Structures are given as C-alpha cells and as structure tokens.
A and B are shown apart, each in its own frame.
Chain A
Amino acid sequence: MSKFVVNRRTLIKSGAVAGVGLAMPTILTRPSFAYTNEPTGSSVTLGFNVPQTGPYADEGNDELLAQQLAVEHLNGEGDGGCLNTFTSKALKGNGILGKKVTFVTGDTQTKSDAARASAKSMIEKDGAIMINGGSSSGVAIAVQGMCQDAGVIFMAGLTHSNDTTGKDKKANGFRHFFNGYMSGAALAPVLEGVYGKERRAYHLTADYTWGWTQQESIAAATEAIGWETVKNVLTPLASTDFSSYISPVLNSGADVLVLNHYGGNMINSLTNAIQFGLLDKQVNGKDFAIVVPLYSELMAAGAGENIKGVYGSMNWNWQLPDDGTKSFVKSFGEKYGKPPSNSAQTCYAQTLLYADACERAGTFNPCGVGEALEGFEFDGLGNGPTLYRAADHQCFKDVLVVKGAENPTTAYDTLEIVEVTPRAQVEYAPDHPMFAGGNLGKCNPGA
C-alpha cells in the first residue's frame, strides 16, 4: 500500500520546484511592467462596462454614447464639451499623457458574475487600464472588488447603495454618483415643506443591497422630521405585478407610500399604485402622497403620466443652468439628437476626471491616479463645486430634488427640478453608522 511515501524532505523539495515553476511567468514578465496594463505604445485603452443586454440595455446604451463622446473630447475631436468649462486645465485635447485614447466595451447584463467576467476580459485580453460605468449597485460592488484585485482603477457609474462607498469601499474604486443617504438628506426638508411633519409612511423596498440601504436612509431622514414609518415590506426583485403589495397600503393607516424601487420594479409599482387610485384618496384627513426617492429619465419615460406630482431625487439633470451642464448637453444633444440622462452624465464626467487625474499625476499607475483623485476639488462638469473625498472615495456635490411635471411640453421635460440641495446639507462623516464596517485598504497597482 505504501509505495507513494511523502516524507518531509521530498515534500519541501518538490514544493520548491513547483513554486518556482508556477511563479516563472511572473518572474519573467515582472521587470517590464510597474503596474497592470502599463501602456507602452502610442495609445491607451479604457474599458467601458455597461449593460448592453437585459432590462437596463437602454440605460447602458446611453452611458456608452456619453463615454464615446468623452473619448472624442479627450482626443481633441468635436467641440471639446466640458473640457472648456472644467476648472482643471490639465487636459489639452491630445489624449491622455500624449497617448491617443481608445476604448473597448463589455456587457454587464446587470448581473454580477457577467459584469465581473466582462471586466476581467477587458483587463486581461484587451489591456484596459481602467473600468468605467455600470447600472446597478450589486454589479458595481462586484466589479469594484474585482478591479481592486486586478490592480486597475474602477469608476462606478450608476450605483446608489450606501455600501458602494460604505462597507464595500475599495481603494481602487471611485463613485461620482450620489447615494441613498444623500437622497434622504435632500428629500426630507422638501417633503416636510410639501406634506408637513405629521405623516405616516409605508415603504415598499426592493429586496437587495440598494433597496435596503435606501430604505434605511429615507426612513431615518423622514423620521428625523417627525414622520412615522408604519411598515416596510420587502418585495422580490423579480416581481412584475405589485397589486397585492399595494392594496393593503390604504388600510394600514399610512398616508404616504415610499417606493424604494428602481427601473422596471419602480415603473410597475408606481403604475399599479396609480391604478389603485392612491393619489386620489384621503387618509387621516390628508391627501395621499407617493415618493420615489431615486428617479431616472428612463423610469420617468416608462411610467409615463403616472409620475405627475410625485417627488424624488436625482444626481444631475440636463435642465440645470450651469455652464458645465450646458456645454455637455449641447455636445451630446447635437451629436445624438436627445438630451443625456443622469447616468450618461456620470459616466462622461468620470471619464474626464480619470483622464485629468492621470495628467496631473503624470502616470497611469492606479496608485498615482488614485492619489490625484483623492481630495480633488473641481467645478465645471455640472452640479457646481465638487469634491472627491479621500476618506471613502465618495463624490460630494449638490443633489437635485425633482418631481414629475404636471404639464410637460416635450418627452424630455417630464421631470422638473424642485430644489438644488446644497452640498453641505448632504454631507456626512466617513464613519457614519450607515457607512460603517468597510475599509478602503491600500491601492493595488497589480502586475
């Protein structure tokens, strides 16, 4: 039986040989690269990872259009867009650090594993130096972790869960988009003004990371102005008909319905709530109200007339009057014939910010780029003066409170800006309990 005997000596010997053998590729290639995918030719490749199939394909397509526009502007083509209004003047329209910008795209399918696989393929096969974009918090957190391990910078796209820059934050990841806490902080005072201090709220919440953190944030913010949270019901992400969740609402004694739903979920739950005539009802002697804390242009389009008079918040809107917004809307609108969505603007701004950080750092090394982005203050990309906070890589800027327009004149002004909530009002300490538990760790240059 004991022909195959392993003693200590042979184990150490064969282990050493195997170890050297396994490490050989790394040993041979290590000297040529200081970090993952260091660009050596005359061009540099960015990786745009957005949903191109599945329910968020239209949103992903909008992000892709904006990122292509950003690449044009970086390479000195087109009208330059926000390069003309950006307060940092490091970008000259000659690519990044003199290298022409090219890009590859991946399809996240709004699924964590598919998104990780497409990001991995762009990094390993196409030599992408960074990953940008996306349309879900679950996906953003998964891809952020993967980019941290691979040693590239990740710019998150549309992700609104507190966890992205909270318990799941990573040194290589940055988020331009706002989050659930900020939505609550911006919405609560407006809701108080419109609906008063004595309201009873019933929450329907999508059962995953984003829904949970947004519900927690909105409940906390509205309870702080005196509202009571009657109930929070978690709804399955795959639900399409919400009637059985909506019908108990009127009888629960609540006079406000908060829909912590996104995309198709929100379109259906809001449509169902309007069908049940909730907005025509009176409860506790008050007109019943519905709140959708996070709006997007595509959700507004999908829900049609049902959004009339319903309050919510947004990261950015093309109707803002500042110069950065104007020049971006002009270049996007003239090229594609429609105004950009707020996720498109996020992905555009992130691409420029990444490029600018490379220029200022004088390198593509993710550690250098990360350092240049940390604590960076700028203006001219929309939303006014903006800070990328070093402590958690969350971006801080003004937040928009919007509501469904009563009398829209075109397909594009269905949401109207009610208030631009100043940045100071939505700021929080990096160790705020809703964001606690995570650790940025150290930047990873990979290679």
Chain B
Amino acid sequence: MVSMMDAILLQILNGLDKGSAYALIALGLTLIFGTLGVVNFAHGALFMIGAFCAVTLQKILNISTITIDPEKTDFLGKPLQVKTPLVETWFGEVAGNAIINWNVPIAIFFSIPIMLAIGFIMERGLIRHFYKRPHADQILVTFGLAIVLQEIIKAFYGANPIPTPAPDVFRGSFDFGVMIGFAKNAIIYPYWRLVYFTFSTAVICAVFAFLQFTTFGMVVRAGMADRETVGLLGINIDRRFTIMFGVAAAVAGLAGVMYTPINSPNYHMGMDFLVLSFVVVVVGGMGSLGGAVLAGFLLGILESFASMNEVKGFFEAIFLPSIDQIIIYLIAIIVLLARPRGLLGRKGVMEE
C-alpha cells in the first residue's frame, strides 16, 4: 500500500505540470498588466488559439489525395475512399509518417509567427483604444473578445475535443520511484508531462533572460517602472509595449500548443484556465513576473495535494467536502486578506 512519502512526491510532480501551464499563462497576463496596464481577459483565448495552431497544423499535414479502393467498402457498402496524406506522397511513407507523428513539436515553430501576429493585431486593433479607460471597461471588452474568438473556433472546428497526440516516443510514463529507491509503480510520471515541464521552464527562463539581459528588455523594464520618464527620454515605449503584447501572446500560444497531447483541445479550454490564471496573478502580485511563476507552481501543487484521497477525507471529516474544488479560491482569499499586494507584489499596488 501507499506510503505517505511517495504520495506526496507524486502530487508534487502532478502539481508541477499543472503549475507550468498556470505559470505560462499568468506570466503573459502579468506582463501585459505590468507594461500596458490592461487586464486582459482574452488571454485564455490566446492559450486556446495556440492549441488550435497544433490542430490546424495536424489538419494541414493530413491533407490527402483520395483514391478509390474497389476491394473494400465504406459503411454504406460503396467502394471505400482511401486517403493518402500529401506529405507521404512527397517525402515517402517513412518520412511522411514521421512528420505527421511529430506534429505537436513542429507546431511550436508554426504557432510563433501566428501568435505574434494575433497579439499585434489585438493590441493595435482593439486594446490600445482602452488604455485610458477604467479597468471594468477593459475587462468587459477583452472578455467579449474571448467569447468571440472561441465561437469562431467552434464554428470551424466543432465543439467536440480533437485528439492531438504526442510523438510516439513520448507515450507512456517514466518510473521516478525506482530511480530514487521506491517500489516499482510507486511514482510514475508521463514522459510528455516531463517534456511540458521542461519546456515551460525553458520558456520562462527565456522571457526573464530577454527582459534582464537585453537592451530592449531593459527599456521595457524601465517603462514598466516609469512610463512617462522613459517616453520623455525620446524612446518610443508604446511600440515596445506592443511587441511585449505579441510576446505575451506567443508565450500563451506555446503553452497551448504543448498542452494539446495532455488534454484533447476544445474551444472552451481557454476559459477553463483563464479564471485560475487570474487567481495566480493576483496571488503572485499584479505586475510581478516572479510572483506569477511562483504562484503558478505553488497553486498547481496545492491543487494536486487537495485532490489526494487522504486530504479529501480529512476535510470531509471536518465538514468541508470537495476541498479539491475550492482550494485555489480559499488560498486566494487568505492571501488577499493577509497581503493584498500578493506574494511578490510591489508595495502600493492594489493596496491604496
């Protein structure tokens, strides 16, 4: 039977990949809030569109020529139409299959230009008109935009989830427990989730390095601290902030692309993550990049702990059933009461 130690390790691992997705989305959100001062409720939709970049690439790779096979029949008893993907015709069967199989990693490169463009269009076309408006207006317009985007996706792709599997080499799971001296099957962890965690850590590091070690990043950070002074120095800070919006969109999009093998994407997956990501941003501190990442992983792990049978049982015993459903909000309430600026928030933000 299960010892407490492996159960805890297991849920920390589970929390890490949940936390990676929260952290990536929250990072983009807080980046936009910190630079442009806009609360972007359409950020979940960007995550969803990223996932559908992978779905779209899968569809493109599967564009096929149709030949009739008179030997076999379809469900109506008519000759079967056999589809051969064009990539198979062009690159041969082995290479063609490999390309289709590696759809999700390839989609990373496919999605970056698309997401940058979508971010750019969103900021220039709509959101910049709302900089001077109250936060309530910004929330309403971006929330509306999110609904419009998800209905557009639904019109093209339907409401049913679309399976977008990982490459075959990443199927199955890795036995962590055996490596660190536990029994077999005690702590197993799917390969793809490991990839997801590594990937998001890399993206987070890249964003931080970009902001910390490049001149562009330095200017952006200066702009976040004092936009007017930077503007007075003759720097076009608006243009840089627009680019940062594009970067934030790309980060959310990449989080979406890599998430597709974990759960088949559907049109409302963005909404499922949006509310949680906001809680993450608020707990981490509005506008604090480090806070978003820290809170993302922290809440991911706490959420996993709350769904452990022992924990659920304990809270049920003290008449608090379904702790797994409310834990995140409970933490948010406690943090907001005890420390309104969030874990790593700057003094004064959200505290006036």
A interface list, Cβ under 8 A from B: 53-59, 207, 231, 233-234, 236, 238, 240-241, 243-245, 247-248, 250-253, 264, 267-268, 271-272, 275-277, 280-281, 283, 298, 301-306, 318, 329-330, 333-334, 339, 409-410, 412-413
Instruction: Report yes or no: A248 in contact with B308, Cβ–Cβ below 8 A.
Output: yes
A302 is contacted by which of B18, B264, B312 (Cβ under 8 Å)? B264
Q: Does B43 contact A (CB under 8 A)?
A: no
Which partner residue on chain B sits nearest A409 by CB separation?
B72
Q: Does B263 contact A (CB under 8 A)?
A: yes
Chain A residues in 8 Å Cβ range of B13: 247
Number of interface residues of B (CB under 8 A): 51
Instruction: Report yes or no: A240 in contact with B263, Cβ–Cβ below 8 A.
Output: yes
Which partner residue on chain B sits nearest A252 by CB separation?
B2
Q: Does B163 contact A (CB under 8 A)?
A: yes
Stretch of B188-196, B203-211, B330-338, B343-351 lying at the A interface: B188-196
Chain A residues in 8 Å Cβ range of B76: 329-330, 333-334
Instruction: Report yes or no: B165 in contact with A251, Cβ–Cβ below 8 A.
Output: no
Instruction: Report yes or no: A305 in contact with B163, Cβ–Cβ below 8 A.
Output: yes
Instruction: Report yes or no: B272 in contact with A240, Cβ–Cβ below 8 A.
Output: yes
Please measure, in the bound complex, the distance between the C-alpha atom of A267 and the C-alpha atom of B261, giving whole angstroms: 12
Chain B residues in 8 Å Cβ range of A231: 309
Which partner residue on chain A sits nearest B192 by CB separation?
A275
Chain A residues in 8 Å Cβ range of B268: 55
CB distance from B64 to the nearest CB of A (A): 13
Instruction: Report yes or no: B75 in contact with A412, Cβ–Cβ below 8 A.
Output: yes
Please measure, in the bound complex, the distance between the C-alpha atom of A54 and the C-alpha atom of B307, giving whole angstroms: 27
Instruction: Report yes or no: A298 in contact with B160, Cβ–Cβ below 8 A.
Output: yes
Instruction: Report yes or no: A303 in contact with B263, Cβ–Cβ below 8 A.
Output: no
Instruction: Report yes or no: A304 in contact with B264, Cβ–Cβ below 8 A.
Output: yes
Of B10, B13, B171, B264, chain A has the most CB atoms within 10 Å of the CB of B264
- Contact mask B312-348 → A, CB, 8 Å, 1/0? 1000000000101100000000000000000000000
CB distance from B157 to the nearest CB of A (A): 10
Q: Does B352 contact A (CB under 8 A)?
A: no
CB distance from A239 to the nearest CB of B (A): 9
Q: Does B242 contact A (CB under 8 A)?
A: no
Instruction: Report yes or no: B159 in contact with A281, Cβ–Cβ below 8 A.
Output: no
Chain B residues in 8 Å Cβ range of A251: 1-2, 6-7, 10, 185-186
Please measure, in the bound complex, the distance between the C-alpha atom of A412 and the C-alpha atom of B304, giving whole angstroms: 37
Instruction: Report yes or no: A283 in contact with B185, Cβ–Cβ below 8 A.
Output: yes
25 contacts between A and B (CB under 8 A): A240-B272, A241-B18, A243-B17, A243-B190, A244-B11, A244-B307, A247-B14, A248-B10, A248-B309, A251-B2, A251-B7, A252-B2, A264-B161, A264-B266, A275-B172, A276-B188, A277-B173, A277-B190, A281-B185, A283-B185, A302-B163, A304-B165, A330-B76, A409-B80, A412-B75
Instruction: Report yes or no: B75 in contact with A339, Cβ–Cβ below 8 A.
Output: yes
CB distance from B165 to the nearest CB of A (A): 7
Chain B residues in 8 Å Cβ range of A264: 161, 266
Q: Does B162 contact A (CB under 8 A)?
A: yes
Q: Does B154 contact A (CB under 8 A)?
A: yes
B interface list, Cβ under 8 A from A: 1-2, 6-7, 10-11, 13-15, 17-18, 72, 74-76, 80, 154, 158-163, 165, 171-173, 185-186, 188-190, 192-193, 261-264, 266, 268-269, 272, 303-304, 307-309, 312, 322, 324-325
Q: Which 7 A-B pairs have the closest CB atoms?
A: A304-B163, A57-B159, A275-B190, A277-B173, A302-B161, A251-B2, A244-B307
Which partner residue on chain A sits nearest B304 by CB separation?
A244
A-B contact count (CB 8 A): 133
Instruction: Report yes or no: B158 in contact with A244, Cβ–Cβ below 8 A.
Output: no
Which partner residue on chain A sits nearest B324 by CB separation?
A236
Known contacts A247-B10, A272-B263: A410-B74 contact under CB 8 Å: yes
CB distance from B192 to the nearest CB of A (A): 6
Chain B residues in 8 Å Cβ range of A58: 158-160
Please measure, in the bound complex, the distance between the C-alpha atom of A133 and the C-alpha atom of B282, giving whole angstroms: 43
Instruction: Report yes or no: A303 in contact with B1, Cβ–Cβ below 8 A.
Output: no
Known contacts A251-B185, A329-B75: A305-B165 contact under CB 8 Å: yes
Chain B residues in 8 Å Cβ range of A234: 322
Please measure, in the bound complex, the distance between the C-alpha atom of A304 and the C-alpha atom of B163, giving whole angstroms: 6
Please measure, in the bound complex, the distance between the C-alpha atom of A303 and the C-alpha atom of B263, giving whole angstroms: 9
Chain B residues in 8 Å Cβ range of A268: 161, 263-264
CB distance from A282 to the nearest CB of B (A): 9
Instruction: Report yes or no: B262 in contact with A57, Cβ–Cβ below 8 A.
Output: no
Please measure, in the bound complex, the distance between the C-alpha atom of A305 and the C-alpha atom of B268, giving whole angstroms: 23
A275 is contacted by which of B18, B160, B193, B312 (Cβ under 8 Å)? B193
Extra contacts, 11 of them, besides A57-B159, A244-B303, A251-B185 (Cβ < 8 A), are A56-B159, A240-B269, A243-B193, A250-B185, A251-B186, A275-B173, A276-B173, A276-B189, A301-B160, A302-B161, A304-B163
CB distance from A233 to the nearest CB of B (A): 7
Known contacts A243-B17, A247-B10, A304-B165: A277-B264 contact under CB 8 Å: no
Instruction: Report yes or no: B11 in contact with A57, Cβ–Cβ below 8 A.
Output: no
